Structure 1
Amino acid sequence: MKDPKVIVMGAGAVGCFFGGMLARAGHDVTMIARPDHVEAIKRDGLYMDCLSFKEYVSVKATEQLNVIDQADLILFCVKSPDSGKTIELIKPYLKPDAIILSLQNGVDNCHRIRQLIDNPVYPAVVYVATAMAGPGHLKHHGRGELAIGGWEPERAHDSEIQTQLKSVSHLFEAAGVPCKVSADVRQDLWYKFLVNCCYNGISAIGQIQYGDMVAVESVRDLIDELGREVVAIARHEGIAMSDKDAKYVIDQIPKTMPTQKSSTGQDIARRKPTEIDYLNGLIVRKGKQYGIPAPANQAIYALVKMIEHYNT
């Protein structure tokens, strides 16, 4: 992928980090964002307050969707509930060969997107702790890598797909973002989903950082129970997820992202709708489908939905 035009659709914390890293490396990047972010970025640039550097990065920003017609690569970073309606809005502007990379929470976004368009769509498993500290101001708390792959198992090793994935991987790697092409991205997505189900809702309910959550023994027990329920559902979805690996992944989060408050927690703090229907809510629905009890996930889901109801 030589000199691609990159569009960040939904330039919140995740989009600003990865789009900002590409822009910092000299790539042509345009952020589509809310008016306050656009104004700040146009005026000063994107301020990236990262662990390894702090600087204003020059990047284009707009509220207009018609710039999508320039895109070779779209970093699709909107909230999971907004996937369908956003695709319908940008569909008239999409070039047929524009690649859409879904940097979203959840495990079913690519499936839902591909039902609406014929463009190549690939999931990215996102490992980064970030937040917006203000308009045009990104705060980075830890990590910052991606895993990408073909989400359809029967086509995962197709030569054209592999060529596209390697091109995207090289683009990020050259910009200082570790980006592996996964041999089984569905498994990687479910391990990330496991983490989201274990931490996001609790962080939102308590408005608490990951490191502080696990200082409470009963919360650690709840996290483990949430994890066991997710693993049981994952296996019914055909995902090879071991108890040992699941436990390791769960335990690493407060060590590698101790000061992070979940995206769900950030949404609640801003009185915005959350993605809980696509996190613990999906486990609850799948549990009913497979006849697998998921009381811990049901409790977290219900509590976040209650807060949402009175909060937004």
Structure 2
Amino acid sequence: MEIKKVTIIGLGALGILFGNHLAKRMPKDDLRIIADEKRIQKYKNEHVYCNGEKCDFHYVTPDETCEPADLLIFTVKYEGLHEAIQAVKNHVDENTIILSALNGITSETIIGRTFGRDRVLFSVAQGMDAVKVGNKLTYDHMGMLVFGDQKSGIMSESVKCVAAFFEKMDFPYQVDTKMDKRLWGKFMLNVGVNQTVAVFNSNYGEIQREGEARETMIAAMREVIALSEYEGIHLTEADLNYWLSVLATLSPDGKPSMAQDVEARRYSEVELFAGTVLELGENYHISTPVNKKLYDTIKSIESSY
């Protein structure tokens, strides 16, 4: 199968980043951005910008009938996932391949319950330093999408198909045949960097240099390493160092989504990060004091909204 029709749901940082790249390389009608009528009107009136450039997107509402997507990409926040699953139903048939760029380790399973696990590839968005303020996105590094099959050690036709499409689109990507470990590695990074930068009210530069913030971040990540053993993932210090090397490539002035949420006084994905760590720690009787402190601090910040 050749991918021709692509649908993206979620016009946050990643939705704009991916959509802007693809929109320059595809026929306009072949790339659909799903949004409700109110959001579409806002996008059309105020426009959406990527690195100062106005994006030219083709918007569709969830109710519009259309050809199913060959590739469907979820770029919503976790709290909007269930609504998004309902919104994309006109875009999914038996041939649709689904990628989820959401943070955390559960979105693929949730999407798979509705559309079938065999249609959903594991994927991780990494290496981007995009910052979205209002309707404007800026970034220095686009990063890449890493994806692969849910079962380790194989490369399905769906994976090959997406790789061929991204190659044609000059879209940065990598195929990984051990995506369960990659998902947990990205989760470990998010647990550390997202929460620490938010709590320290800082940016990537703060945790790229030695100091209390970096120590806090690494300690939070090591709690995920301990939990991964009980989940059969077996993260190691080598994995931690790999993700620290990814972090080192980002613009020091950039900041992760949770820090942007806290600055904008929006509720964050703390339940997805520290909340998950605390729940797993309780299940396995493992102490997770660093994540408990981060969780309590962020919840305290949010209680003042």
Task: Indicate the residue corresponding to 2:243 in structure 1.
Answer: 249
* Shift in Å, 1:68: 7.2
Structure 1 counterpart of 2:31, from 13, 29, 32: 29
8 Å Cα contact 1:131/1:138 also seen in 2: yes
Task: Indicate the residue corresponding to 2:302 in structure 1.
Answer: 308
Would you identify which runs of 4 or more consecutive aligned residues in structure 1 move more than 6 Å?
Answer: 34-37
Task: Indicate the residue corresponding to 1:260 in structure 2.
Answer: 254
| 1:55-66 paired onto structure 2 within 5 Å | 55-62=53-60, 64-66=61-63
| 1:135-284 paired onto structure 2 within 5 Å | 135=135, 137-153=136-152, 157=154, 162-215=156-209, 217-284=211-278
Per-residue CA deviation, residues 20-69 of structure 1 (Å, 9 max, x unaligned), is 211111242122247786446546975321xxxx644432124x113474
User: Following the alignment from structure 2 to structure 1, what is the Cα–Cα distance between the partners of residues 24 and 206?
Assistant: 33
Cα distance change on mapping 1:270 and 1:304 into 2, 3 Å: same
* Shift in Å, 1:77: 1.0
TM-score, length of structure 1 as denominator length: 0.86
Task: Indicate the residue corresponding to 1:14 in structure 2.
Answer: 14
Task: Indicate the residue corresponding to 2:74 in structure 1.
Answer: 76
3-state SS of paired residue (1:126): strand
Instruction: Give 1:229's aligned amino acid.
Output: E
8 Å Cα contact 1:114/1:121 also seen in 2: yes
* Shift in Å, 1:185: 0.9
Deviates more, 1:289-298 or 1:253-262: 253-262
Instruction: Give 2:224's aligned amino acid.
Output: V
8 Å Cα contact 2:9/2:75 also seen in 1: yes
Per-residue CA deviation, residues 229-270 of structure 1 (Å, 9 max, x unaligned), is 111111221113221331342254144342221111112222
User: Following the alignment from structure 1 to structure 2, what is the Cα–Cα distance between the partners of residues 13 and 79?
Assistant: 10
Q: Does 1:296 align with 2:290?
A: yes
Cα distance change on mapping 1:272 and 1:293 into 2, 3 Å: same
Instruction: Give 1:111's aligned amino acid.
Output: T
TM-score, length of structure 2 as denominator length: 0.88
User: Following the alignment from structure 1 to structure 2, what is the Cα–Cα distance between the partners of residues 65 and 112?
Assistant: 19
8 Å Cα contact 2:70/2:95 also seen in 1: yes
3-state SS of paired residue (2:234): coil
Task: Indicate the residue corresponding to 2:129 in structure 1.
Answer: 129
User: Following the alignment from structure 1 to structure 2, what is the Cα–Cα distance between the partners of residues 222 and 131?
Assistant: 23
3-state SS of paired residue (1:14): helix
Task: Indicate the residue corresponding to 1:108 in structure 2.
Answer: 106
5+ residue gaps in structure 2? none
Deviates more, 1:222-231 or 1:239-248: 239-248
Deviates more, 1:180-189 or 1:91-100: 91-100
Cα distance change on mapping 1:3 and 1:291 into 2, 3 Å: closer
User: Following the alignment from structure 1 to structure 2, what is the Cα–Cα distance between the partners of residues 76 and 252?
Assistant: 23
Q: Which has the higher strand share?
A: 1
Deviates more, 1:98-107 or 1:264-273: 264-273
User: Following the alignment from structure 1 to structure 2, what is the Cα–Cα distance between the partners of residues 9 and 36?
Assistant: 15
Instruction: Give 1:129's aligned amino acid.
Output: D
User: Following the alignment from structure 1 to structure 2, what is the Cα–Cα distance between the partners of residues 242 and 219?
Assistant: 21
Cα distance change on mapping 1:113 and 1:68 into 2, 3 Å: farther
